[in-house]
Structure 1
Amino acid sequence: MLKRASMVGEPGGSSPVHQLYDYWLSKSRDRRIPSRADIYPEEIPQLLPYVMLHDVVRQNGFYRFKARLIGTHIVDVCGSNPTGRYIDEYMPREDYKKIYETLTGVITTKAPAHGVVPVHGEDGYFLDFEVITMPLSYDGEQVDMFFCGRRAIFRKGNSTEK
């Protein structure tokens, strides 16, 4: 059964992340988790730069998360495209633990997780991202993919504001 309440707090306003959340909610059928087949890129062309898709891979009682698609906004801001790679291959170990907990929470609760996460580069703090991770399921019950929205939030005074 689909749960509307998110783990961290629902996105607000009209940001691309909030619009993606509304779109995901509109795709729930009989209050079941939407599937990848329910997501039509042509219905949300203006939001595609903010979209990420990750496969949920079950291995020996653990999960791995493989990037299937990374939107151009995310690639442009971060300067790399990890499509085809597992998150644990490109995220620092100290950050991955928190990411793993969040993603397994989405699998367990079948509810979206929303929040603001700091991104660190080699020189320290880089920027914040507003992120929402929403479950997708081929059968409406078991989470097999994540439909994510991610938007850069630049702090005042940052000359690269978008």
Structure 2
Amino acid sequence: MYPRTTDMEEMARRCFPDTLGFYRYWDSKRALPDGQSRRMPRRQDIDALEMKRWLPHLQLIDVIPDETAPHGRRLVYRLVGDTEIELRGYNPTGRTVDECAIGKETSDATGNYNLVIDGRQPVYDWSKIAHPRGFLISQECVLLPLSDDDDTVTHVITYGKVITSLDQPPPLRDIL
């Protein structure tokens, strides 16, 4: 079974402090001036200046209605942070998640997005994924919904933490 949860208390117990900090930032943006809380903040509630320390690890994905696409929508990378670009070896901005998701299977990533969008809820995942250069990396990611009307998810913002360094020594067979 793919390692993911929608239980943010479980996430808080197992994630790195940066990941929890980003989740708490998103959570704080759900508050309304009258003290009430929305399920999801709006995209305009998220301020790039306030998120400076997380920006290299962020992705912002547009949720575009499209009846011809699976689940009636296309997921398109609008913004991709430098760490995410370096991890992939290319910039997926403007391309779809179906084309550019990394991991064991694209269905793992789209499964996460579907949970976020259909459930209007955060998702946290952790796993080992194959790097394009051929070695495994450990990662964790929190995926968070954004909505203009607190009902329809218009964007998903993610924070991904690579736990294993990209600067791993080459495999022994490359040295010999």
Q: TM-score, normalised by structure 2?
A: 0.76
SS in 2 for 1:100: helix
Which has a greater percent of strand? Answer: 1
Question: Counterparts of 1:52 and 1:106 in 2: how far apart (Å)?
Answer: 14
Listed one character per residue, the Cα deviations across residues 46-90 of structure 1 (whole Å, up to 9, x for unaligned) are: 111111100112211522210011111222233221011101122
1:144 equivalenced with 2:176 (yes/no): no
1:109 equivalenced with 2:119 (yes/no): yes
For 2:156, the aligned partner's letter is: F
Instruction: Assess, with a 3 A threshold, how the Cα gap between structure 1 residues 122 and 74 changes in structure 2: closer, same or farther.
Output: closer
Instruction: Assess, with a 3 A threshold, how the Cα gap between structure 1 residues 77 and 99 changes in structure 2: closer, same or farther.
Output: closer
Larger Rg: 2
For 1:128, the aligned partner's letter is: S
Within a 5 Å distance, the mapping from 1:68-107 to structure 2 comes to 68-91=78-101, 95-107=105-117
Question: Counterparts of 1:123 and 1:90 in 2: how far apart (Å)?
Answer: 15
8 Å contact from structure 2 (residues 140, 162) kept in 1: yes
Instruction: Assess, with a 3 A threshold, how the Cα gap between structure 1 residues 11 and 57 changes in structure 2: closer, same or farther.
Output: farther
1:35 to 37, 42, 52: 42
What is the match of residue 16 of structure 1?
A: 18
For 2:6, the aligned partner's letter is: S
Question: How many residue pairs end up in the alignment?
Answer: 155
SS in 1 for 2:11: coil
Q: CA shift at 1:111, angstroms?
A: 1.1
1:53 to 60, 70, 76: 60
Question: Counterparts of 1:81 and 1:7 in 2: how far apart (Å)?
Answer: 31
8 Å contact from structure 1 (residues 73, 151) kept in 2: no
1:62 equivalenced with 2:72 (yes/no): yes
Q: Which runs of 5+ in 2 are unaligned?
A: 171-176
Question: Counterparts of 1:101 and 1:66 in 2: how far apart (Å)?
Answer: 15
SS in 1 for 2:54: helix
